[in-house]
Protein backbone atom coordinates (compact mmCIF):
# COMPACT_ATOMS: atom_id res chain seq x y z
CA UNK A 1 0.00 0.00 0.00
CA UNK A 2 1.34 3.42 -0.96
CA UNK A 3 2.11 5.82 1.90
CA UNK A 4 -0.34 8.65 2.46
CA UNK A 5 0.62 11.93 0.83
CA UNK A 6 0.57 13.83 4.11
CA UNK A 7 2.93 11.29 5.67
CA UNK A 8 5.39 11.94 2.84
CA UNK A 9 5.03 15.70 3.27
CA UNK A 10 5.52 15.43 7.03
CA UNK A 11 8.76 13.55 6.35
CA UNK A 12 9.98 16.46 4.20
CA UNK A 13 9.13 18.83 7.05
CA UNK A 14 10.93 16.68 9.63
CA UNK A 15 14.04 16.42 7.46
CA UNK A 16 14.01 20.17 6.88
CA UNK A 17 13.82 20.85 10.61
CA UNK A 18 16.81 18.58 11.18
CA UNK A 19 18.91 20.30 8.52
CA UNK A 20 17.96 23.99 8.67
CA UNK A 21 18.90 26.50 11.36
CA UNK A 22 16.02 27.51 13.68
CA UNK A 23 16.25 31.19 12.72
CA UNK A 24 15.75 30.28 9.06
CA UNK A 25 12.85 27.99 9.88
CA UNK A 26 11.27 30.84 11.83
CA UNK A 27 11.02 32.95 8.67
CA UNK A 28 8.80 30.39 6.96
CA UNK A 29 6.74 29.83 10.10
CA UNK A 30 6.08 33.57 10.37
CA UNK A 31 4.99 33.76 6.73
CA UNK A 32 2.58 30.83 7.17
CA UNK A 33 1.08 32.31 10.35
CA UNK A 34 0.58 35.72 8.74
CA UNK A 35 -1.00 34.24 5.63
CA UNK A 36 -3.34 32.09 7.72
CA UNK A 37 -4.34 35.18 9.72
CA UNK A 38 -5.63 36.85 6.54
CA UNK A 39 -8.39 34.17 6.41
CA UNK A 40 -7.55 33.53 2.76
CA UNK A 41 -8.66 29.89 3.16
CA UNK A 42 -12.20 31.09 3.87
CA UNK A 43 -12.37 33.09 0.64
CA UNK A 44 -11.47 30.41 -1.90
CA UNK A 45 -14.02 29.48 -4.56
CA UNK A 46 -16.29 27.03 -2.73
CA UNK A 47 -18.05 23.78 -3.55
CA UNK A 48 -21.18 24.50 -5.57
CA UNK A 49 -19.77 27.61 -7.27
CA UNK A 50 -19.38 27.88 -11.03
CA UNK A 51 -15.70 27.51 -11.91
CA UNK A 52 -14.14 30.18 -14.12
CA UNK A 53 -13.53 29.08 -17.71
CA UNK A 54 -9.93 29.24 -18.88
CA UNK A 55 -7.58 28.89 -21.82
CA UNK A 56 -3.97 28.42 -20.74
CA UNK A 57 -0.87 27.21 -22.54
CA UNK A 58 0.66 23.84 -21.77
CA UNK A 59 4.39 23.19 -21.50
CA UNK A 60 4.70 23.04 -25.30
CA UNK A 61 2.87 26.34 -25.79
CA UNK A 62 -0.37 24.76 -26.98
CA UNK A 63 -3.61 26.34 -25.65
CA UNK A 64 -5.68 24.08 -23.40
CA UNK A 65 -9.30 25.13 -22.84
CA UNK A 66 -11.39 24.10 -19.86
CA UNK A 67 -14.50 23.86 -22.05
CA UNK A 68 -12.82 21.24 -24.24
CA UNK A 69 -11.74 19.20 -21.20
CA UNK A 70 -15.13 19.35 -19.49
CA UNK A 71 -16.77 18.17 -22.69
CA UNK A 72 -14.94 14.88 -22.09
CA UNK A 73 -15.47 14.42 -18.35
CA UNK A 74 -14.97 15.87 -14.86
CA UNK A 75 -11.76 17.84 -14.35
CA UNK A 76 -9.27 17.80 -11.49
CA UNK A 77 -7.37 21.10 -11.23
CA UNK A 78 -4.24 21.08 -9.11
CA UNK A 79 -2.86 24.57 -8.42
CA UNK A 80 0.77 24.43 -7.29
CA UNK A 81 3.49 26.97 -6.46
CA UNK A 82 6.26 25.82 -8.79
CA UNK A 83 8.76 23.08 -9.49
CA UNK A 84 11.07 24.59 -6.85
CA UNK A 85 8.64 23.46 -4.10
CA UNK A 86 9.38 19.89 -2.91
CA UNK A 87 5.93 19.60 -1.34
CA UNK A 88 4.30 20.44 -4.67
CA UNK A 89 6.41 17.93 -6.57
CA UNK A 90 5.70 15.15 -4.07
CA UNK A 91 1.99 15.92 -4.37
CA UNK A 92 2.07 15.91 -8.18
CA UNK A 93 3.94 12.60 -8.19
CA UNK A 94 1.20 11.13 -5.98
CA UNK A 95 -1.42 12.33 -8.48
CA UNK A 96 0.72 10.86 -11.26
CA UNK A 97 0.55 7.47 -9.58
CA UNK A 98 -3.24 7.77 -9.20
CA UNK A 99 -3.77 8.96 -12.75
CA UNK A 100 -4.93 5.53 -13.94
CA UNK A 101 -7.74 5.56 -11.36
CA UNK A 102 -8.71 9.05 -12.42
CA UNK A 103 -8.94 8.05 -16.07
CA UNK A 104 -10.98 4.95 -15.13
CA UNK A 105 -13.55 7.40 -13.78
CA UNK A 106 -13.47 9.20 -17.14
CA UNK A 107 -11.96 12.28 -15.51
CA UNK A 108 -9.12 14.48 -16.70
CA UNK A 109 -6.53 16.51 -14.82
CA UNK A 110 -4.39 19.60 -15.24
CA UNK A 111 -1.72 21.09 -12.99
CA UNK A 112 -1.50 24.89 -12.99
CA UNK A 113 1.19 27.25 -11.72
CA UNK A 114 2.54 30.71 -12.60
CA UNK A 115 5.88 29.30 -13.78
CA UNK A 116 6.84 29.87 -17.41
CA UNK A 117 6.39 27.15 -20.00
CA UNK A 118 10.04 26.10 -20.19
CA UNK A 119 10.01 25.42 -16.44
CA UNK A 120 6.87 23.31 -16.81
CA UNK A 121 8.30 21.44 -19.78
CA UNK A 122 11.44 20.50 -17.84
CA UNK A 123 9.37 19.52 -14.79
CA UNK A 124 6.88 17.37 -16.67
CA UNK A 125 9.68 15.41 -18.32
CA UNK A 126 11.76 15.05 -15.18
CA UNK A 127 8.86 13.73 -13.10
CA UNK A 128 7.01 11.78 -15.81
CA UNK A 129 3.75 13.67 -15.43
CA UNK A 130 1.03 12.28 -17.72
CA UNK A 131 -1.32 15.27 -17.43
CA UNK A 132 -0.94 18.77 -18.91
CA UNK A 133 1.06 21.31 -16.88
CA UNK A 134 -0.35 24.74 -17.63
CA UNK A 135 1.05 28.24 -17.14
CA UNK A 136 -1.09 30.86 -15.40
CA UNK A 137 0.76 34.16 -16.05
CA UNK A 138 0.68 36.42 -13.03
CA UNK A 139 -1.71 33.99 -11.26
CA UNK A 140 -4.64 35.54 -13.15
CA UNK A 141 -6.74 32.35 -13.08
CA UNK A 142 -5.73 31.48 -9.52
CA UNK A 143 -6.95 34.95 -8.54
CA UNK A 144 -10.42 34.05 -9.83
CA UNK A 145 -10.35 31.00 -7.55
CA UNK A 146 -9.43 33.22 -4.58
CA UNK A 147 -6.02 31.62 -4.12
CA UNK A 148 -3.46 34.38 -4.68
CA UNK A 149 -1.15 36.09 -2.20
CA UNK A 150 2.08 38.07 -2.46
CA UNK A 151 5.18 36.71 -0.74
CA UNK A 152 6.20 39.27 1.92
CA UNK A 153 9.51 41.02 1.45
CA UNK A 154 11.27 39.31 4.35
CA UNK A 155 10.29 35.92 2.91
CA UNK A 156 11.47 37.01 -0.54
CA UNK A 157 14.93 37.60 0.95
CA UNK A 158 14.84 34.14 2.51
CA UNK A 159 13.90 32.50 -0.79
CA UNK A 160 16.68 34.31 -2.61
CA UNK A 161 19.16 33.18 0.03
CA UNK A 162 18.31 29.54 -0.76
CA UNK A 163 18.43 30.22 -4.52
CA UNK A 164 14.66 30.14 -5.11
CA UNK A 165 14.22 32.98 -7.62
CA UNK A 166 10.44 33.15 -8.02
CA UNK A 167 10.46 36.13 -10.44
CA UNK A 168 12.84 34.24 -12.75
CA UNK A 169 10.79 31.03 -12.60
CA UNK A 170 7.54 32.92 -13.19
CA UNK A 171 8.90 35.36 -15.77
CA UNK A 172 7.52 38.43 -13.98
CA UNK A 173 8.52 40.43 -10.88
CA UNK A 174 5.42 40.39 -8.67
CA UNK A 175 6.19 37.49 -6.26
CA UNK A 176 2.52 36.47 -6.50
CA UNK A 177 1.85 32.80 -5.80
CA UNK A 178 -1.25 30.61 -5.51
CA UNK A 179 -2.15 28.68 -2.43
CA UNK A 180 -1.62 25.01 -3.27
CA UNK A 181 -5.19 23.94 -4.01
CA UNK A 182 -7.14 20.96 -5.27
CA UNK A 183 -10.38 21.41 -7.19
CA UNK A 184 -12.65 18.95 -8.92
CA UNK A 185 -15.00 20.45 -11.48
CA UNK A 186 -18.08 18.63 -12.77
CA UNK A 187 -18.98 18.54 -16.44
CA UNK A 188 -21.53 21.27 -15.77
CA UNK A 189 -18.74 23.56 -14.56
CA UNK A 190 -19.74 23.36 -10.89
CA UNK A 191 -17.14 22.85 -8.17
CA UNK A 192 -17.47 19.37 -6.62
CA UNK A 193 -14.41 19.51 -4.33
CA UNK A 194 -12.34 22.46 -3.13
CA UNK A 195 -9.49 22.53 -0.63
CA UNK A 196 -6.57 24.90 -0.12
CA UNK A 197 -4.29 25.61 2.83
CA UNK A 198 -2.31 28.67 3.89
CA UNK A 199 0.27 26.22 5.27
CA UNK A 200 1.99 24.90 2.14
CA UNK A 201 3.03 21.79 4.06
CA UNK A 202 -0.58 20.57 4.30
CA UNK A 203 -2.39 19.06 1.30
CA UNK A 204 -5.58 17.00 0.87
CA UNK A 205 -5.15 13.33 0.13
CA UNK A 206 -5.76 12.84 -3.63
CA UNK A 207 -7.77 9.70 -2.92
CA UNK A 208 -10.08 11.69 -0.64
CA UNK A 209 -10.63 14.25 -3.38
CA UNK A 210 -11.45 11.51 -5.87
CA UNK A 211 -13.80 9.75 -3.48
CA UNK A 212 -15.62 12.92 -2.44
CA UNK A 213 -16.06 14.11 -5.99
CA UNK A 214 -16.85 10.89 -7.79
CA UNK A 215 -18.72 8.71 -5.32
CA UNK A 216 -22.11 9.68 -6.83
CA UNK A 217 -20.86 8.60 -10.24
CA UNK A 218 -19.84 5.09 -9.21
CA UNK A 219 -21.88 2.23 -10.57
**Would you give the DSSP letter of residue 44?**
S
* pLDDT average, residue stretch 3-25: 82
Q: How confident is the model at residue 3 (pLDDT cuts 50, 70, 90)?
A: confident
Three-state SS at 92:
helix
Is pLDDT of 72 > 70? yes
How much is the pLDDT for 218? 40
* pLDDT average, residue stretch 90-112: 94
Measured distance CA(209)–CA(205) in Å, rounded: 7
How much is the pLDDT for 7? 86
Measured distance CA(193)–CA(128) in Å, rounded: 26
Q: What is the pLDDT of residues 140-196, one digit of tens each?
A: 999 999 999 999 999 999 999 989 999 999 999 999 999 999 999 999 999 999 999
How much is the pLDDT for 22? 81
Contact 99, 169 (CB under 8 A): no
We find that the CATH architecture of domain 5-217 is 3-Layer(aba) Sandwich (3.40)
Q: pTM here? A: 0.92
Q: How far is CA 131 from CA 75, 182, 210, in A?
A: 11, 15, 16
How much is the pLDDT for 208? 85
How much is the pLDDT for 2? 64
Q: What is the pLDDT of residues 105-124, one digit of tens each?
A: 899 999 999 999 999 999 99
Counting DSSP H helices and E strands in the chain, the numbers are: 9, 9
Tell me what the pLDDT averaged over the chain comes to: 92
Amino acid sequence: MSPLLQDQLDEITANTRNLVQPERLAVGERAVEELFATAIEERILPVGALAPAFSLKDSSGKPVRSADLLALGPLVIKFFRGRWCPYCMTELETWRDLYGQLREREALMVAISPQVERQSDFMAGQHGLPFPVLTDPGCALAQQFGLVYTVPEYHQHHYRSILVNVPFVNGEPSWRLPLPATYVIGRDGKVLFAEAHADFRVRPEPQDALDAAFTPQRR
